[in-house]
Copies of this chain bind each other. A is one copy, B any other.
Amino acid sequence: MVKVGILNVTGYAGAELARLLYNHPEAQLASVTGRSEAGKKLAEVFPHLAAYDMAVDPELGDVDFVFSALPHAASAESVAPLVQSGVPVVDISADFRLNDAKEYAEWYGGEHPAPELLPKVAYGLTELNREAVKASKLIANPGCYPESALLALAPAAKAGLIGPDIIIDSKSGVSGAGRGLKQSLLLAEAGESVSVYGLKGHRHLPEIVQELRKMWRESESPKVTFTPHLVPMTRGILSTCYAPLSTTKTEVEVRELYQQFYSDEPFVRIVDAPPSTKQVRGTNACHVYPTVDQRTDRLVVVSVLDNLVKGAAGQAIQNMNAMLGLPETMGIDMPALYP
Contact = CB atoms under 8 A, between A and B. Distances in A.
A166 to B, nearest CB: 9
A278 B337 contact: no
Contacts of A94: none
A191 B335 contact: no
A233 B194 contact: yes
Of the candidates A12, A293, A334, A335, the one having the most CB atoms from chain B within 10 angstroms of its own CB is A335
A338 B336 CA distance: 14
Name the interface size band of chain A.
35 or more
B229 A242 contact: no
Interface in A72-112: none
Nearest to A164: B296
B236 A194 contact: yes
A175 B296 contact: no
B179 A183 contact: yes
A277 B339 contact: no
Interface string A145-182: 00000000000000000000101010101110001011
Interface in A213-256: 223-225, 227, 229-236, 238, 240, 242, 244
Of all A-B residue pairs in the complex, the 3 with the closest CB atoms, nearest first, are A195-B276, A193-B278, A48-B336
